[in-house]
Structures are given as structure tokens and as C-alpha cells.
Chains A and B, each alone.
Chain A
């Protein structure tokens, strides 16, 4: 058993020393702590008796403290202790440079990391530690692991089976330009001609591209034929792309999750600044501050035009242009354990997005036919056919897909949205994919108009999460982001609301949570990188505050849960009875014009026979 001597070298504070003593004792070390107010001479004399493997000093750097710390090191050297004893220092304001200047063998900067302390005691050098860390990289989590997707409510299961049959028969034998483009993209990938700097045959690319172009809108055609870029878009040049690699070399900070003492939930945030380089910066910052996964958001016009662009492209608008090059570029900078979701749930390029996302290494997709077919989205008929094809791809690629429930933002009541999520789940499961429903925790128009959150925001949100546990054994991922419509441009208020919602979801035992930045409600410019850090910090502290506390439902929440469950059943019964899923959407069974929801029109009349 190795001996470690711990010294505060501080007149009053020794919390860090007490904590270290406990943790080192738990780790099997013979840890001795000296009391506050101990002098360097006393520490060295004790060390001469104990002959420890290491002396660890904790001290906040301040006036004349450097002198005390260096005196300790010098005494140790002059006393002949340093041949066998390593001396380390940690504390506020201590940096590696100061540690080196004062002559310490090791230096612990920032939060206490026990693995670093133990490596130091064991005499493993910093570079060895880094290598050891690389070898035991954090494994990428699988959100769906352990879930059976068994339905607990047979009535709901039965309606869902009927609706799924209707959808599959409606999609059978149908195709769209979107599906055909996805097939061509797949072929291009197989033939190694999917990018501008491809290494395959130029003739093959020429032929495939020619077919692809015929299936595109005129603006996309102009790009491929004449090299004309859409307004505001520019190429990233090679120097810019190469420079990012120098700015973010491989190797990483040890991952420090936002979670305090629970294995879940995993935390996600979206990016999509418009520029892949800025995205990389935002993602790296989010990773460093503890994010588990990120979403790629593309520009809204990507969803409204037939066909996708190619190459390294940037622009000064929201959403980063979805090309294989952009996706691969961004993916290459993510840590190996960071989850990556490429959304493609609502536009004319939904199938093709799954193909490119998979090619670039996506871990998750995002597909929701009812949501994507409403509120300025895609025509329901079109998205039904494209969505079914996309779910088949998700199953084929073995990539789980999540189903956002953001139609609530338009005013749809939760039970209608949840009915839509359940339909997507059932459809995905039938096609062999692994779904993750995303009930939205929000202060939606439905809540304000009907006064459903007048007293508090906890009962309704807890009920919205708990109802799932009564229906099906599934992972739950509140999003997108949590606290939607509670945020204001005040960063303190915004970060607080995010952290409250995130921690409520954590206490309800969910599997993942999507959080916003504190710029969520600021609409006059892009999200700033500091705004991302705001909410990550807030969530971390909130989770620390509540630890493993579990939420239980109040009588009011239980009653809301029962009401939602009942109304989901009724909604699914109505959709099943209607016998035509697209018609159900057109007719508002999953969200009506009274609710504030209108069926999408983009791509109407584009479904054809195979």
C-alpha cells in the first residue's frame, strides 16, 4: 500500500485535503492528512518519517503563497526527499507554468480528477497518462439499449397496428424524386464518386450526376450545371479547411459529463451556425463543457428544394448546408464518443439526408412524418412515402431515429402530438428500426390558452413524461429543446429555465435531453458560443444540486397523465377509423387548424408509382 501525505499549507481551509484523503483511502492508499496551518517544515519532517510516495499540497495561490510553496519544494530537495517522493500541487489559480516554476513534479489544474491524482502517485508521467486515457476512451452510448418496445396498453397497440398497415399500404408501390435521388446518392457512394474530389471514374460520376440533376429544382440544377451558388453561399477554401485541423488537433480533454451521479440522461444540443468551421468550434466547446451529443441543423430552404448541393459550403444564415463534404468535415472533429444526429425529418430531401448522414457517420436520425407534414412543412402524402423509405434506411443502417414532438409549439395539445409520435414508433418498429420518442417539455400555446400551467410547470411536464411508461417500454428523450417558450433573451432567466427543465427530466428518469443555449429566444443573430456554455454550466450545477433525487407525481400530475393517456387512445382510434393516414393529417386529426396547425404543401402532387 502506497503512502500519501496530504497538506493544505493554508491557515484555515482543508476541504480539498479532507476530500482527497477520503477518496485516496477508498482507492486503497494509506493517506495521511496534516491539519490547516501546518508549516512547510512540519510537512517535510513528517514526510521524512512517513517516506510517502507522494506529497500533495492544496493551496489557493495568493499573496506570498508562491514563496511558501517553493519553500516546501526546496526543503524537500535539500532534505533529500525528492529522490523517492513526488510532490504535487493543486488549488485555485494554480497553472502548469506556475507549478513548473515552483518546482513541483505534478500540478492539478481545475476540478479534482482522481484518475490524474492516482496516475501521479503511481509515477505515471503526464504523457503516459494521456496515452492511457486514449486507450480507455469513453464508449459511445446507445440510447435504445435495454428497451424491449413492448406495449403495455393493448388497445393503443392495436390501433397503432391498424394505422401502420394503412401507412405501409399507402406507401406501397410509390416513389418520389426524393427517393430516387437517395438511390442515386447511394450508388454514387458505392462507386466512390459521391464528392467533388472523388477518386472514382469521372464517366460514372457524370452519368449518375446527369440523372440526379434531372430530379432537382432549377436552383440546384444551376449549381451543378453552371456552378452557380445560391445567394449568400460561398465555397470554403482549402486553407480555411486545413487550418481548422491545426486549431483543433486530435486529443481531448478528459470527458466530464454534466451528470453528477446518474448514468443518464445524455445531453444534446443542436448546432447549425451556417458555417461548418464555426460549427466545429461550437461543437468542440460544447464537448469540452460536457455535452454528450449534437444535432446537425440544415437551412430551412434545404427542406423546400428538390436536391442537395455538394462540396464545402458556408453561408451567413441559420442552418449549415447539408452536403456530404460538410457533414464529413464536421464529423471528423467530433470526439469518438460524441453522439451525432443528422436531422432529416421534414423536407423534400429526407431520404437523401439519411443516405448522406449514414455515409458521414451519423449515430442517430430524426424522422417524424406528422410533424414534418405540418406548419409550413412538406405535403403529408409526399412525406409519408419519403418517411417510410427513410425508416427503411434507418433499419438497414441500424441507426436509431428520434421523433421530435415539436408540433406542440403550433398549439397542438400533447395527446395529439404523442399520438403522432406513437404512430412513428410503431411504423419504425414494424420496419425494423429503433425509435426514440421526444415529448416536448414546453410552455406551449395550448398550455397558456387553456391555463394548464397557471399554477406550476412541473405537474404537466412530469405527466407528459410519465404517460409513456404506462404505454410502452421505450427510451424517452424530452426535447427539442426542453423549456421551449419559457425562454427570454435574458441569459440568466434562459439558462435557469433550461436547467430547471433538464433537471426535472433527469429526476423523471429520462434517457436523453436536448437543451438550448441561452440565446434560444434571441432572434436577431446567430447563437454565440458563450451562450452555449451558459446552459451547460447551469445544467451541470442543477444536476449537482439535486443528485439522485427522483421525481414523483402529485395527485394533479397523476390526473393529467390519465387524461393524456385517455385522449391519446381516442386520437389513435379516430385515425385508425379514418383509414387513411395522409387524410388524417389533412383533416387535422393529429393537429387541426383550430389547434393552429396546417398541413404542409411543399412537394404536393409529387408522389408517383414506381
Chain B
């Protein structure tokens, strides 16, 4: 089973539109599909802006993993439901099979551990492809996916150059190599393996404050090569401080992070991009324990504008052509599309999905 995750750089950047479009293609390709969300998706209007939102349309035979309280929320009917024992705020997650097509509301596993359990169950029932709807700023759980589709747009920032720079920084993080330093059974705490094979372990999984950065720095010996593993998160600001202030200590060090989403979850991609360039210039390197391909990137010219006088939001748009071309100009290694501006390249092929019919 393949798992495809959909993430957005902000609300209203077109994540659901992209997912709904891919779902349409997958249905035509004859694959058994499951749909879930690591957040909540199901309203026809956004609960903050009040503006219309796209809804997931489920076809007969498709599986939906969602909180039991939401089964009656959409217009789809289900003929078989199976409990999973996984709990969310909105109730227990059930795997339900669609018998009558219609809209569905999704609230699935909200943490990585639960998503893994759910994906294991879906794989066991011969699902070919699971689409996971992401949520605002929530990437960590999607490290379990086989590929990601990233959506950005004017809802993230109304300045096209800012959108493009941010998207390019994010995209760049997906191209670090897979590291050969740490095997699948990597430790759960920050570790340093010295050239002589000696393993030093810190007391934390992550580096998020000065204290833990100092602990790490004290183990980075200048002039010696070493492999460092960060199982959790690393604040990009602290990482940048480290590589800028202590180039001698990071020289010859190979930093392995769990996945690109662990970097993205830690903070601003622009800071990562610049810090990693500095690291490289200082003679250090970075890679991932597990690579995660970015299949393609979507851009969306829409943004909600808040009107102070009426307290309401209205739909507005930046120049869609200019947005698409600006982002495409900055990102050359990953296809960039606007779902509402066809033609598109073969999106299924980009997601490494092979049609059955």
C-alpha cells in the first residue's frame, strides 16, 4: 500500500483541492483507496473565515477512516464500519466503507503513533492507496507517508515573492540525501558516533533550547569527524547559531535527521535552508534516516481578506499566472502546478501510482 500525504503551508492554500483532484484521478485509475485526515475536515465553510471550502467526495467501495461521530456528517452512506480502538476528540476512529457516494467529514488519527496503527490496518485489508489529509502546521505524522503533495499560495502570504521563496526553501529540504550512518533501529535520544565507534548519548531527543544545544556542542570535537543523529526536532535558529558560531566544531560532522518533515516541523524552512548551506560551507553534511519524496507542489492564488468594518472575510486573489510562474521559476526539481489551471503533468506518475486499468 502506498500512502500519500497532503500538506499546506497555511489554511486555505488549496490542500483539499489538490487532494480532491488526486482522488478523482485515482478513482479513474481503478485503485482501492482509503481516505483519512490527521486533523479535521468536513465543513462546507471554513470555521474561521466563513468562506466556502471544497469537500471530499467519496465513491462507493472507498474506505474512510474517521471519528464515529462524523459518519452522519456528510451525505455519503456506509455499509460496513469497523472500530479501530483509536480515539480522537470527536470519538473513536472507525474504518467505514462507502455504499452511497457523497461528501464525507474526516477526523482521523492525530499523532504519528496512531496513524501508523491505522495504516497497518488499512494495508491488511488490501487498500492500494491511502490519502492522508494534513492539517495546519502538522507535518510530523506525515513522515509515515511514501510521498507528499505540498500546497502553498496567497493565503500563506499575499506577496508572490515571499510565497515563492518560502516554497523554494521547503522544497530544498526534500533533497538532502538519505544517510547511511544510522540504521532503522536508530536510538531515541540525540546520539553522536565518533570515528572510533564510540557512541555518546544525550539525555534528550531534541534540541530546542540553549541548554540542550550546549550539551550537544560540548560533544562536538573540533577536527574530528563524527555522525550525529537527531531523532526529534532541532530548532533551526539554534542550528544556525551553531553552524555560524562554531564552524570548527561542525566541520566533518554528518547530521542525520529523521525525515524532511522533522525539519519542517521544527521551524522556518528559510532558516534551515540557509543554516544547511552554512553547514555545507563549513565542511559538515546533513541527511535523513528516511527520505520522503515531494511528489509535486501546488499553488493557489486565493486568499481570505478580513474586512474590519463588517468583521467578515471576502475571497480575493493574487495574479494566478504570475504566482504559478514565479514559483516555477524558483523550483526546478519538483513540478509546480495550479490545480485550477490545467493542463497538468501526469500527477499519478509523479506520485508513483500505477493505474490498475
Asked if B99 lies at the interface with its beta carbon under 8 angstroms from chain A, I say no
Question: Which of B24-32, B133-141, B314-322, B333-341 sits within the interface?
Answer: B133-141
Asked if B1 lies at the interface with its beta carbon under 8 angstroms from chain A, I say no
Asked if A75 lies at the interface with its beta carbon under 8 angstroms from chain B, I say yes
**Interface pair B206/A101, CB less than 8 Å apart:** no
Question: Which of B104-112, B121-129, B164-172, B281-289 sits within the interface?
Answer: B104-112
Question: Which of A39-47, A157-165, A247-255, A278-286 sits within the interface?
Answer: A39-47
Asked if A328 lies at the interface with its beta carbon under 8 angstroms from chain B, I say no
Annotate A374-396 by CB proximity to B: 1 below 8 A, 0 otherwise.
00000000000000000000000
Residues of B within 8 A of A404 (CB): none
**Interface pair B204/A48, CB less than 8 Å apart:** yes
**Interface pair B136/A102, CB less than 8 Å apart:** yes
Question: In the complex, A446 Cα to B206 Cα: how many Å?
Answer: 78
Annotate A96-134 by CB proximity to B: 1 below 8 A, 0 otherwise.
111111111111000000000000000001110000000
Asked if B87 lies at the interface with its beta carbon under 8 angstroms from chain A, I say yes
User: How many A-B contacts are there with CB distance less than 8 Å?
Assistant: 129
Asked if B327 lies at the interface with its beta carbon under 8 angstroms from chain A, I say no
Residues of B within 8 A of A96 (CB): 89-90
Residues of B within 8 A of A127 (CB): 91-92
**Interface pair A74/B139, CB less than 8 Å apart:** yes
Question: In the complex, A95 Cα to B40 Cα: how many Å?
Answer: 12
Residues of B within 8 A of A229 (CB): none
**Interface pair B136/A101, CB less than 8 Å apart:** yes
Distance in angstroms from A180 CB to nearest chain B CB is 53
Residues 201-253 of B contacting A (Cβ, < 8 Å): 203-206, 208-209, 211-212, 231-233, 235
Q: Which residue in B112, B204, B211, B267 is a CB contact (below 8 Å) of A82?
A: B112
Q: Which residue in B41, B188, B212, B261 is a CB contact (below 8 Å) of A78?
A: B261
Residues of A within 8 A of B254 (CB): none
**Contact A75 to B233, CB < 8 A, known contacts A98-B47, A125-B87:** yes
Question: In the complex, A125 Cα to B85 Cα: how many Å?
Answer: 11
Report which residue of B40, B89, B143, B235 has the largest number of chain A beta carbons within 10 angstroms of its beta carbon. Answer: B89
**Interface pair B204/A77, CB less than 8 Å apart:** no
Residues of A within 8 A of B118 (CB): none
User: What is the predominant secondary structure among interface residues of chain A facing chain B?
Assistant: helix
Asked if A304 lies at the interface with its beta carbon under 8 angstroms from chain B, I say no
Question: In the complex, A126 Cα to B88 Cα: how many Å?
Answer: 9
Asked if A240 lies at the interface with its beta carbon under 8 angstroms from chain B, I say no
Binding site for B on A (CB under 8 A): 41-42, 44-45, 48-49, 66-67, 70-71, 73-75, 77-80, 82-83, 95-107, 125-127
Binding site for A on B (CB under 8 A): 10-11, 38-41, 43, 47-48, 67, 87-92, 107, 110-113, 135-141, 143, 188, 203-206, 208-209, 211-212, 231-233, 235, 258, 261-262, 265-267
30 of the cross-chain contacts (CB-CB < 8 Å) are A41-B209, A44-B206, A45-B212, A66-B136, A73-B138, A74-B137, A74-B140, A74-B265, A75-B140, A75-B208, A77-B112, A78-B258, A78-B266, A79-B206, A82-B112, A95-B47, A97-B40, A97-B90, A98-B47, A100-B67, A100-B88, A100-B90, A101-B41, A102-B138, A105-B89, A106-B89, A107-B89, A125-B87, A126-B89, A127-B91
Known: A66-B11, A105-B110. 10 other contacts (CB 8 A): A41-B208, A48-B232, A67-B136, A79-B208, A80-B206, A100-B40, A101-B136, A103-B135, A105-B111, A107-B89
